[in-house]
Structure 1
């Protein structure tokens, strides 16, 4: 974790970011007024998970298989829990496998 104070200050917004896409949007708006690196970290993680979820629902379920889509959904829910627990514990916990890429791909979210 980079900054304990930032984690403490941004914890609430980081948790809000985990509450559906609406929560992510709310946390983004709240973070715009006073930038917090901890909240930004979790915003990038959640944007990545939301995008994977949309791809799963629109492409995998529609063109591949409902069973495969269900398995991916279960995996994404597990990733979401890992991220949420990290936010609650004030730790910058990367989503397994793709967390570092989310931080890189969405580095514009600050």
Structure 2
């Protein structure tokens, strides 16, 4: 970890990119330590014939537009589950 880096912020870019590219598989939620959320994304994607993957796309964009501190506070510390 680099000097001055916020613990947990290293997951932001990976989770964001996985959300955008593979959101329907829920991989971004698994990266954030939320296996239930990841499984829900998979089930939603299957039940909606793929349209549920848009949730991952939106989440990935949201992750990448937040500051490191906001991301860590919401998704690492408080374990926010949706958007």
TM > 0.5 fold call: no
TM range (shorter): 0.3 to 0.5
TM-score by length of 1: 0.37
Over alpha carbons, which structure has the higher Rg?
A: 1
Q: Which has the higher helix share?
A: 1
TM-score by length of 2: 0.44
